[in-house]
Structure 1
Amino acid sequence: MQSYEERLTAPRSWWVIAALVGVACALMLLPLGTLPMLGGLIGGAALSAVAVSSYGSVRIRVVGGALIAGDAKIPVSALGEAEALDAAEALAWRTYKADARAFMVLRSYVPTAVRVEITDPEDPTPYAYVSTREPERLVAALASARG
């Protein structure tokens, strides 16, 4: 059985923006003195870094006969056909082809994805859309886990 694990980390440019938020907070507090300015720099940078880190900490895994995407754990027995989506097709499935009932682990900074049909008759969710940097590997891991 082939396992799969990926963390959809935020791009480096977001970390630069987090640092710039700290600088902006420092500049806003500069008229109040040096200590408030340092507090703004540290506090602003720290809060924005926490936001970037938490958004970029989602994990995609195939372990123990289940697809774990973010907070969801879907057994492979409830999954149907998995389709690797290139950048253009992934964009289509996140916009005009999207179904409002679908489960989505969507990160706009990851251009490719996998769409997996959900075959459980008890579940109204038609498919799961999972952003991934390695769609072919994820499809192969799901096929391997299905047996």
Structure 2
Amino acid sequence: MRLMQNPRTDARPLYRERLAPSLRLLATVALAGPMVSLIFVPVGSTVALVIGGAVSAILVLGFIAMTPVVLVEGTVLRAGRAHIEAHHLGEPVALTGEEATHARGPGLPANGWHLIRGGIDGIVVVPNIDPDDPVETWTISSRTPDRLAAAIRAARP
């Protein structure tokens, strides 16, 4: 008897990206540890160092663990906590540079779903064509906006 390891052809997501914070932000967060350790110096320098190191590690790991994930799996787009069936989506537009800056700023629609992260230049704007949904567009940060746009196109019928 032959066993197949992965009988489903669509088992892997078309696209997956964790919008992790930049190294600069993680370094800034990690500086809270030395500040906390100063509070415990009167107790003892070893205790202060251990507590400061633990605070830094917990904060950095917490920031990484709480980062949103953008996922295109099957016919569903997930952006953080939100998800939408791909047949409700129009043609995605991948933007970088000045166009992405405009889309994140003055071009950002008020009644859209936004998953925007600082330090990530690329952005994908996808119109929502569902007439019953009040959300007009989905605006999603991505380090590889072309790949995300392609995955959304592939997920649509």
Name the TM tier (shorter chain).
Answer: 0.7 to 0.9
**Hey, what does 1:58 align to over in structure 2?**
68
TM (norm. structure 1) is 0.87
Distance (Å, rounded) in 1 between the aligned partners of 2:128 and 2:27? 38
- Aligned pairs (5 A) from 1:115-130: 115-130=125-140
1:38 to 49, 55, 58: 49
TM (norm. structure 2) is 0.82
Structure with the largest fraction of strand: 1
Distance (Å, rounded) in 1 between the aligned partners of 2:118 and 2:24? 14
CA-atom RMSD in angstroms: 2.0
The DSSP-based 3-state class of the residue aligned with 1:136 is: helix
**Hey, what does 1:74 align to over in structure 2?**
84
Structure index of larger Rg: 2
- Aligned pairs (5 A) from 1:77-92: 77-92=87-102
User: What is the CA-CA distance between 1:114 and the residue it aligns to?
Assistant: 0.2
Q: How many residues align?
A: 146
The DSSP-based 3-state class of the residue aligned with 1:80 is: coil
Q: Which letter does structure 2 place at the counterpart of 1:41?
A: G
Identity of matched residues, %: 30
Structure with the largest fraction of helix: 1
- Post-superposition Cα deviations, 1:94-141, rounded to whole Å, max 9, x if no partner, equal 211112211011101101110000011111111000000111111111
Distance (Å, rounded) in 2 between the aligned partners of 1:74 and 1:87? 27
- Post-superposition Cα deviations, 1:1-33, rounded to whole Å, max 9, x if no partner, equal 881111111222223223321111112332343
Moved segments of 4+, more than 6 Å: none
**Hey, what does 2:7 align to over in structure 1?**
none
**Hey, what does 1:97 align to over in structure 2?**
107
Specify which structure has the bigger relative contact order, considering alpha-carbon pairs within 8 angstroms and separated by 6 or more residues.
Answer: 1
Q: Is the 8 A contact 1:18 1:48 kept in 2?
A: yes
Matched, 1:11 2:22: yes
Matched, 1:28 2:70: no
Q: Is the 8 A contact 1:14 1:52 kept in 2?
A: no
The DSSP-based 3-state class of the residue aligned with 1:124 is: coil
Q: What residue ranges of structure 2 are gaps of 5+ in the alignment?
A: 1-9
